[in-house]
Amino acid sequence: MAHYVKRAGICNVRVSAHTFRHTFARIWILNGGDAFTLRRILRHKTMDMVNRYIHLWGREVVLHPNTI
């Protein structure tokens, strides 16, 4: 993982496979994907766990009110 992070020129940011799961979840929702399908993709048992992954803030929630 460190090799690809360095190659991409990413500095001073913690990056891991877990980071990619969080990033995928946010991008999925922000692009109109629904949370229930995301739950199945991430193999989470509860929507509470999906909500932890999504991390939407103010403006994002206003832009996409029906995706959560």
Indicate the burial class of 44 (C-beta count within 10 angstroms; 0-12, 13-18, 19 or more). middle
**pLDDT value at position 11?**
86
What pLDDT is stored for residue 56 in this prediction?
A: 61
Is the pTM higher than 0.85? The answer reads no
| CA separation for the pair 62, 15 (Å, rounded) | 28
10-residue mean pLDDT series, the chain (68 residues): 85 86 88 92 91 68 52
At 61, is the secondary structure helix, strand, or coil? helix
